[in-house]
Structure 1
Amino acid sequence: MDTLDFAAENGVGWIRLTRPEIHNPVDVALRTDLMAVLEQVRNDPAVRVLVITGGAGAFCAGGNLHALQEHAQAGPAYWQRRINAGLRLTDDLLNIGCPVIAAIDGPAIGAGFALALCADMIVASPRAKFAMAHLRLGLVPDLGALYLLPRIVGLQRAKELVFSTRDVTAEEARSLGIVMEVQTSEAIEARVRDMAERMAQAAPTAVALTKAMLNASLDGDRQSAFALEAASQAAAFAAPEPAAQVEAILGKRRPAFAGLRSARD
């Protein structure tokens, strides 16, 4: 692909953005390639965790300004179609039935920040910085950022970050709950690899159902959440993994989806 490389190993799919010289912009080419990879992952049961990274010193610094200039005179209908296409990518990332980890070792600006928010977890290096920079261009945040950001940092702080367009360091992002961990640039990939390979050992049906329930938990009422839990657990019991897991445990064999209880195991 023109904008990224994709490879899978040990149950983990690695998406590496490959245009750091132009800051890995979120443009039509990247969106097309990402959606193609997500379709591949959905059809490959061997991929149980997905990692997105921009490589050393890079992640994604937003939209392609040359493309924006080229289409500056396009009418509202064009931009609505384009934004809706971007939102389909957001939906695909949020709804894919496996954990998604963003490993960020450079700027995540504008649409790049929004792309990072689509991950279930973000691990960043001190070189990472985040900014909702859309208003610098007279534009509103897109790729679902105005839906996702308040759910992480709260409404008041989300407004401050959006209206100020200021840069946020990795440590501040961690304190706000945007970033889960800060690791050195030298250690970040090894740390994410360890996390991802451990998560890949969990039963995939239960992981997909659990992720869907967690994603829905902030948008529904308690009774809806309880109903979804009951339906999801019924679906989990109908899958082959629980019976095999219980049989292995009772037979004192290592289950197929053993997981690891701690970093020392």
Structure 2
Amino acid sequence: MDLNFITNHVLFEVREGVAYITLNDPEHLNPVTAEVTQDLVQCLIYCERENEVRAIVFRGAGGNFTAGGNVRGMKDRLDQGINTTKSGIRAGGEFIMRLKTISKPTIAWIEGAVAGVGMSIAMACDFSIAEEAAKMVFAFVNIGFVPDGGAAYMLSKAVGPNQATELLMSGKRFSGAQAKEWGIITEAVPREQLEETVQKYINKYSKGPGVAYAQIKKLLMSVNYQELNACMQNEVDAQYVCSLTADHKEAVTAFVEKRKPVFQGR
């Protein structure tokens, strides 16, 4: 039986055995907030439990995947003297771990902007297909934060420690085509071919041998990602330390004021 429901900023639909999870706040480039993370976890719990779901597709509404965290929301909290909590950071890691270990094939349908935890979601999916011109960035350092959602671990696995260091510490932008070239995503295609390409993945992996897929995913986790959860637990402490710094507050303020931040190293 097909179904759909909408939370504040997540659209969830199941059609013909495929679950479509859509970040649905296009006005703000689909930020992944603590509330959104809770909704995403509930979607994944449903997908894992229900046999009718054979594959899962992640995308963002309005032509963008996600710009990551809600920086304006961070600014509002900082102005009120409210800092990032360890429980909030931990919840994000738990969502990525659930996404990475779910037994069903997962497909990221990537358009437009992809930043911060959006890159973590893309790397945590089994298959990530992007338009060649997608604008990607590991933006954490640009607001005085460290990578979370297992980004440092998964990126190092994909490109090696040297290039991971450069991408994470520079905070520079790159395209979907470059991400494919470097091995960060599965495939990059021209925008006009994106939907057709994603549909090919959906058709194949929603109709294939689900038990075999689940066991392959389990084997790959044991071989390649044994330390992912431990890495994300370390992120909790590192991100909390950064959340208390003057540099983080300055970077968030500069983002909202559309100016270049002046870092002091403290």
Q: State the TM-score, normalizing by the size of structure 1.
A: 0.78
**Equivalent residue for 1:105, pick from 91, 104, 111:** 111
Q: What is aligned with 2:191?
A: 185
1:263 paired residue number: none
- 2:123, 2:185 within 8 Å by CA — same for their partners in 1? no
Secondary structure of the corresponding residue to residue 85 of structure 2: helix
SS of 1:127's equivalent in the other structure is: coil
Q: What is the aligned partner in structure 1 of residue 168 from structure 2?
A: 162
Q: Give 1:219 deviation, angstroms.
A: 4.8
Please point out which of 71, 74, 84 is paired with 2:82.
74
- What is the letter of the counterpart of residue 63 of structure 1? G
CA contact (8 A) 1:23 1:60 kept: yes
In structure 2, how many angstroms separate the alpha carbons of the residues matched to 1:127 and 1:209? 34
Q: What is aligned with 2:205? A: 199
1:118 lines up with 2:121 in the alignment: no
Task: Give structure 1 regions of 4+ aligned residues with deviation exceeding 6 angstroms.
Answer: none
Indicate the SS of the match to 1:60.
coil
Q: Could you tell me which residue of structure 2 aligns to residue 127 of structure 1?
A: 133
Sequence identity (%): 30
- Residue type of the partner of 2:142? R
Is 2:17 the partner of 1:11? yes
- Contact (CA 8 Å) 1:50, 1:99: kept in 2 or not? yes
Moved more, 196-205 or 166-175: 196-205
> Does structure 1 conserve the Cα–Cα contact (< 8 Å) formed by 2:135 and 2:175?
yes
Which SS does the other structure have where 1:46 is aligned? coil
> Cα distance, 1:7 vs. partner?
1.4
2:62 & 2:221 partners in 1: Cα distance? 30
- Could you tell me how far apart the structure 2 residues matched to 1:188 and 1:36 are? 28
C-alpha separation between the residues in 1 aligned to 2:26 and 2:222? 34
Count of paired positions: 218
> Is 1:150 the counterpart of 2:156 in the alignment?
yes
The answer to whether the 8 Å contact 1:56/1:185 transfers is no
Structure 1 position 84 matched with structure 2 position 90:
yes
Q: Secondary structure at the match of 1:52?
A: strand
The CA RMSD over aligned residues, in Å, is 1.5
Q: Is there any run of 5+ residues in structure 2 with no aligned partner, and where?
A: 1-6, 227-266
Structure 1 unaligned blocks of 5 or more: 221-265
Which structure would you say has the larger Rg?
1
When structure 1 is superposed on structure 2, of 79-88 and 62-71 the one drifting more is 62-71
Q: AA paired with 1:14? A: Y
Paired amino acid for 1:121: F
